[in-house]
Chains A and B, each alone.
Chain A
């Protein structure tokens, strides 16, 4: 009896240690967004302030970088979701010549090291005389997030009863009407998961972006550039806000999932 209790307590302590360890970087990031720092670096606690929240957009370059990142993330996610859903539908439903090759490519795109992908994209753009700007960043982000959408959508499509779509057609729905009213709602969890993954991958990508950005600066690129001169607390505030939105989406998703079952 005592043995079990001691084991329970140890497990309890261990669990909390893991949770603290996992969340401490986030806690530090949030905390130093409130640091009333006087020196150049933001690494020692010097008192509480809300100043950085008020002056959030006072660093023009940083604001531009954040805006670039959000635009790239939204556009690349939108493009990725459309192409990826179509690919996932085709791969999950039809047998065709090139199916195996396409499946292999999807996997290869996931397993390719980012450095390799970035370097090869750069040489592709340079040899094709393509000017590097936010468009090339978006193209690159679509490329590395596409496979994740394909995989999540394909998993839903494989589990979909094909007679559902036949039933919709039988009841008078057009091909587009069937997709909109029956197919898409059925694969929506896969599409949403893929979209969230690709948004998350895009918003904090550094490696690939650093090859294809040209003179366009994104949020992660700006932070890396600022490391030497000291990262301003506004970065912590922006990080906190992005994290907060992510948590809200995750909670919303969990509630929706619970309501579904």
Chain B
């Protein structure tokens, strides 16, 4: 696999109101050809700044940006072979759909005949045939979104950058567009770099995800890896829900009150994470081969396909447990009940291992 986009220790600093702001503190990435790559993180983590440096709207303070092995750090955006889909879509309001989509090809002095053919083709892919003469504001959010996508894709860029493109859509439409985006990406085979703060969106669509926090990449990996084996407490907390347990382990066991967390082969200070859906809730003390903690149910929330329990441990820490509503619709425990939580050793993941 060749690299489509490489970032080498990229830093972005700027002054705002007399203060030095370090938006990106040293990010290195290697995004492969044809990959659906997501930059995921909370707002202000530097993900959008990172993307804008790839597009060429911001110049890095330090470091290199390479597209297909070529250093483009100082190349202006109009000379970079990447295109961007903006969060606000940024469709030209005074132009028709057709003129919006043809804009990039016209700048490159593409022959009329080819413009006609390629714009027609891409409008077919995004399902907008028959709406060529519309103005952007006469269209729904989902349609505008697809115009923005077509306007970028028609240029056949080596990579497409998408800045939270589904943020303005309602939930149903967003889910439909997620599938649609993935389909289009497979169809055109272009590298997609996707910026989002929505972890489920990133997990659904991405081949790989870089989780960013405070200007740095916390973890880089596939969706499953990031979910199952978070590298840092931040990733564990940001991706889905997880329970963090900290303490000193001895002989592969972390003692918490009357209970134990099995961490085979571990000694000393550890931070363990366990996902709420891996935990079983019960009234009897579990058998010895399992991790087990005692606590009191402080909250039960019915969420349709599952119940969410908040369980307070003896030391005051709160654990979240999801229990599927499979056969028995009644809750296994109620508020105030003393319960045992148990899970298999393999579901305790020691962060940073």
Which residues of A are at the interface with B, using a C-beta cutoff of 8 A? Answer: 161, 163-164, 166-174, 177, 181-182, 185-186
Contacts and interface: CB of A to CB of B under 8 A. Distances in A.
B107 A186 contact: no
Given A163-B90, A182-B92, A170 B83 contact: yes
B103 A171 contact: yes
B78 interface: yes
A171 B88 contact: no
A186 B93 contact: yes
Interface string B111-124: 00000000000000
Interface string B88-99: 101111100000
22 contacts: A163-B87, A166-B84, A167-B86, A167-B151, A169-B57, A169-B76, A169-B78, A170-B57, A170-B78, A170-B152, A171-B78, A171-B103, A171-B104, A171-B151, A171-B155, A172-B108, A172-B155, A173-B78, A174-B107, A181-B92, A186-B93, A186-B94
Interface in B55-97: 55-57, 76-79, 82-84, 86-88, 90-94
A173 B57 CA distance: 13
Contact of B77 (A169, A181, A182, A185): A169
A167 B84 contact: yes
A163 B86 contact: yes
Contacts, number: 63
Interface in B134-158: 151-152, 155
A161 B148 CA distance: 15
Interface residues of B, number: 25
B86 A166 contact: yes
Contacts of B57: 166, 169-170
B92 A170 contact: no
B140 to A, nearest CB: 18
A232 B71 CA distance: 75
B107 A171 contact: yes
Contacts of A186: 93-94
A40 to B, nearest CB: 56
A172 B78 contact: yes
Given A171-B107, A171-B155, A185-B94, A166 B88 contact: no
A182 B91 CA distance: 10
Residue of B56, B84, B93, B107 with highest tally of chain A CB at under 10 A: B107
A134 to B, nearest CB: 37
Contact of B78 (A164, A174, A181): A174
A6 to B, nearest CB: 45
B86 A171 contact: no
Q: 7 shortest A-B CB distances, which residue pairs? A: A171-B104, A172-B107, A167-B90, A163-B90, A169-B77, A185-B94, A163-B86
